[in-house]
Amino acid sequence: MSFKLKALLKSPWVFHLSTGSCNNCDIEILDCLTPRFDIERFGMLLVGSIKHADVLLVTGSVNRNCIPRIKDVYEQMPRPCLVVAIGECSLSRGMFIHSYNCPLPLDKVIPVDVYIPGCPPRPEAIIAGIVKLIGKVKKSITKK
């Protein structure tokens, strides 16, 4: 397990899942790929299929329609895997907490490793969040 995790940290491939967000967080994630921020130089790549991904980036206030899909996607991910919640909505549903269509926060649906707050978080914050995630996992490996 820890060997796999170690390999994962060299170039975490991310998959991006929007669960009823306003698109702002999603665009900021795409922004990370474009010339100014360009996270690909650190080996991070946005992939199109969940089967290729190491890290799941979740945005949006979890929608009733989406709950079964999130579980599906999470189950299909190859292990070991990490989950990052991006934006206020996926942290606590922000201002949509009393909405009839957003019954649960994300961490009651699937386990979350790192929370990146902000509405939307800036690309720098997203990159910093992923770096923190890597640091956290490294620490857990060395402890073992």
Chain contacts with another protein (rule: CB under 8 A): 15-18, 20-31, 34-36, 46-49, 60-61, 63-66, 69, 92, 94-105, 108, 119-120, 122
Q: Would you say 8 or 63 has its CB closer to another protein? A: 63
Q: Are 11 and 43 in contact (CB under 8 A)?
A: yes
- Order of strands, sheet of 114-116, starting from the edge strand that comes earlier in the sequence: 45-46, 13-18, 55-59, 82-86, 114-116
- For the bound state, the minimum distance from the C-beta of residue 103 to another protein, rounded and expressed in Å, comes to 4
Nearest to 112 by CA among 57, 62, 49: 57
Instruction: Map residue 61 onto helix, strand or coil.
Output: coil
Q: Would you say 9 or 27 has its CB closer to another protein? A: 27
- For the bound state, the minimum distance from the C-beta of residue 41 to another protein, rounded and expressed in Å, comes to 14
Q: Would you say 41 or 48 has its CB closer to another protein? A: 48
